[in-house]
Chains A and B, each alone.
Chain A
Amino acid sequence: MKTNRRDFLKLAALGAAGAGTAGALTAEAEASSAPAEFGPDVMAKFYDSTKCIGCQSCVVACYNTNFRDRAKYVDEYLPPEEQNFIEKEDLLPKLAPQDEFTPDKPWLNVVTNDYRFRTVIQKYVDENGKPHFIKHNCMHCKKPGCVSACPVSALQKDPVSGIVTYDAGRCVGCRYCQMACPFNIPKFEWSRAVPKIVKCDMCWSTLGKNGVPTETACAKVCPASAVVYGKRSDHLAEAKKRIAENPGKYYNDSVLGETIYGGTDEIYLAAVDYKKLGFPTDKIADYSYAEKSEGLQHTLYKWGIAPIALYTALAIVGYRNNKKHHSDEGEDK
């Protein structure tokens, strides 16, 4: 009888510890879910659609740097232990047959991001026949859905620069990041046996050699200075200044990226409704859904209390019932 009780306590404690671990872990991360403000050194790209001439130089530059010549940049700093054959294979640019460029489908007609193009320029013609251009790429959100979703920390937000980076060496390819991104940005290499997730990382992994880059491929080549790279606070001030100097020129006199989804590191100005330019601004809220989901998880699993309590209660009730059942059975005979 006595031994039984001691065994019971031991086992119950063991089980409770196990059940609580996941919950406790979740609670531990609580601090990180609070919506931090934008730091002073947050880097951003600033794209002014009214300056863009649609030449797509940025698209070419990004393609060359981050897709075609990726191995050249990355090989330099890739530590030898990571140069196993799978990671090597990852670096080689591989075009799926259906994505090859043909004369009747020159690659500058590419209009959506895919595993080759981390950025694209789209064209929208308004009611008066006037063309507008818009650049699409990762928004480097303040509270990114993709980072919150990734189970193995392959996607991370750099705490200083705010750049959302991707580490293929960790990614398991579950594609939860694609599901969680409100802008549908992360892309997957569907036609490769060794696929990875591809999205803009502000040239962190190429020009920046896994650090904050001093320039991005796209901003460097833009002949019209439509896209520039620098500190987010400077960009935001500049955008506000342009709006103040040209009232009515920009749509709603508003900056895209200031508040959408809780704010993003990309700053946009455009003359027409952002919705028409392909941003679901009417559907995306002013907060990040990741905050909601993490908030819920942290409430349910605070300190792992709920799972541990549940387990302990279950173990006690189950143990009693089981013992009673066995002794009843004995009496029957």
Chain B
Amino acid sequence: MSHEKEYAVHRAPIFTPTFFVVLLIVLIGFAIIAYRYWMGVGAVSNLSDGWPWGIWLAYDVAVGSAIACGGYVLAITVYIMNKFKYHPMIRSAVLASMFGYALAGFSVIVDIGRYWNAYGFFVPSRWQPNSVMFEVALCIMAYTLILVIEFLPSVFERLGELDKWPKLAKFSRAVYKALDKVLIFIIALGVTLPTMHQSSLGSLYIVMGYKLNALWQTMFLPLLFLGNAVLMGFSIVAFETVLSARQLKRPFEKEIVSLSRVIPYVVAFWIIVRFISVTVSGAWGEAFSMSWLSLYFWLEIILIAIAGYIIFATEYGKSQSGLFLSAMLLLIGGGMYRFGVYIVGFDPGPEWLAYFPSISEFMITVSLIALEVLGYMVLVKLVPVLPNMSAHGAKTK
């Protein structure tokens, strides 16, 4: 089968200097996390009763899971839109998504105060289906599991090649085959679940009412978050493609350029919905008030619009660096939107000091990202994840 040659193990040493630097960051962060478990959330964070949610939710969960939508976007493109030429990119995207969601999961465990009660999510008498959080939590947990299953073929493919343990290899090949048959049904679930929870990450804020500024508060939050997830999912795929081409000194995967052609339409749709939502909320006065919030609002929209324009109208947008730039703009603009809802546009009232993350809070987030990077760096060198350039390059010609 040509399938097996589609991906390759990246052959390079694991224990590089970079590896140890990243490991150090992880260790520092984990020391702070240990301190948090001993002294309470307040000891390491600037969170308060007015601002109970900070960057652990805004970055690690909201932005982190949007960045982790690469697997989602590619699954739609390949299997649903029938564009199998992008198939070689799917494994690295799924791996990145898996780590992205793991990051979200880890920080939630750091964030929640009574983690020992978390089993309550599986106790039917405690279910509270009215709660958006309930749906988000269950969907995210289920999706993380799906991502792991989606990733398993690469592990079994690798195990199947091991000559040292013929029995294990034989078993792995059998599992690989069986998995290959049912995988599409898992993938369909892997598209349904993010559609649900990515939109619900926005719905979470509807119940906060006036506490979220009218520029962001709208019944369109779920739709806007879903569109935003698609944009960010795409840009992270583009980003990864360009970066891995440069960093790992692999040739540039041209597929991403043609994939990028739909992005301007998503951008246009998203901005239109955004404007409708501002109109419905009657917030145009606020938008032109030249306050910091309104500037933030415009910056967010302009970054996304420019990215759409570059891809749509310029030749530059089709080059490696042009694509990199627009992906970056989309990531920043899209991330700003999510931060806008989760932190910037949130205001519990004048009696509360505005929230800014503390250094330890920041360090915990950084260390969890470092952990993610570490896992990615190690795994691409252990199992076949990245596109196999020799086989794949020959095919496209």
Contacts and interface: CB of A to CB of B under 8 A. Distances in A.
Interface of A: 7, 11-12, 14-15, 18-19, 22-23, 25-26, 28-29, 32-33, 86, 96, 112, 114, 145, 148-154, 168-176, 178-180, 182, 184, 186-196, 278, 280, 283-285, 289-290, 292-294, 296-297, 300-301, 307, 310-311, 314-315, 317-319, 321-322, 324-325, 329, 333
A296 B128 contact: no
A285 B281 CA distance: 14
B394 to A, nearest CB: 13
Contact of B49 (A184, A192, A280): A184
A186 B349 CA distance: 15
Given A190-B41, A280-B349, A322-B184, A149 B209 contact: no
Contacts of B252: none
A325 B3 CA distance: 11
Given A25-B129, A174-B111, A184-B349, 4 more contacts: A7-B182, A189-B40, A195-B41, A195-B114
A317 B83 CA distance: 12
A190 B222 contact: no
Interface string B171-198: 0000000000110111111011101100
B13 interface: no
20 contacts: A14-B185, A18-B142, A18-B189, A148-B130, A171-B117, A175-B52, A178-B49, A179-B53, A182-B209, A190-B42, A193-B38, A195-B41, A289-B206, A296-B206, A297-B132, A310-B192, A311-B189, A315-B184, A318-B184, A333-B2
B189 A19 contact: yes
- The B interface is mostly helix, strand or loop, or mixed, namely helix
A12 B206 contact: no
Given A149-B207, A285-B210, A175 B129 contact: no
B219 interface: yes
A189 B48 CA distance: 10
A26 B135 contact: yes
Nearest to B116: A86
Interface in B343-395: 348-349, 351-352
A176 B125 CA distance: 19
Contacts of B282: none
B285 interface: no
Contacts of A193: 37-40
B272 to A, nearest CB: 20
Contact of B192 (A28, A172, A307): A307
A32 B211 CA distance: 24
B139 interface: yes
Chain B CB within 10 Å, residue with most, of A7, A29, A149: A149
Interface string B116-141: 11101101011111111111011100
Interface of B: 2, 37-43, 47-50, 52-53, 79-80, 82, 84, 108, 111-118, 120-121, 123, 125-135, 137-139, 142, 181-182, 184-189, 191-193, 195-196, 199-200, 203-204, 206-211, 219, 222, 348-349, 351-352
A300 B222 contact: yes
A317 B348 CA distance: 46
A43 B200 CA distance: 35
Given A174-B112, A179-B52, A311-B192, A151 B133 contact: yes
Contacts of B133: 149-151, 174, 176
B129 to A, nearest CB: 4
Contacts of B128: 29, 150-153
B388 to A, nearest CB: 15
Nearest to B87: A325
B208 A289 contact: yes
Contacts of A151: 121, 128, 131, 133-134, 137
Given A151-B133, A325-B84, A178 B52 contact: yes
B114 A171 contact: yes
Given A151-B121, A170-B126, A172-B114, A321 B53 contact: no
B193 A19 contact: yes
B185 A182 contact: no
A19 B42 CA distance: 37
B115 A173 contact: yes
Given A317-B80, A321-B80, A292 B137 contact: no
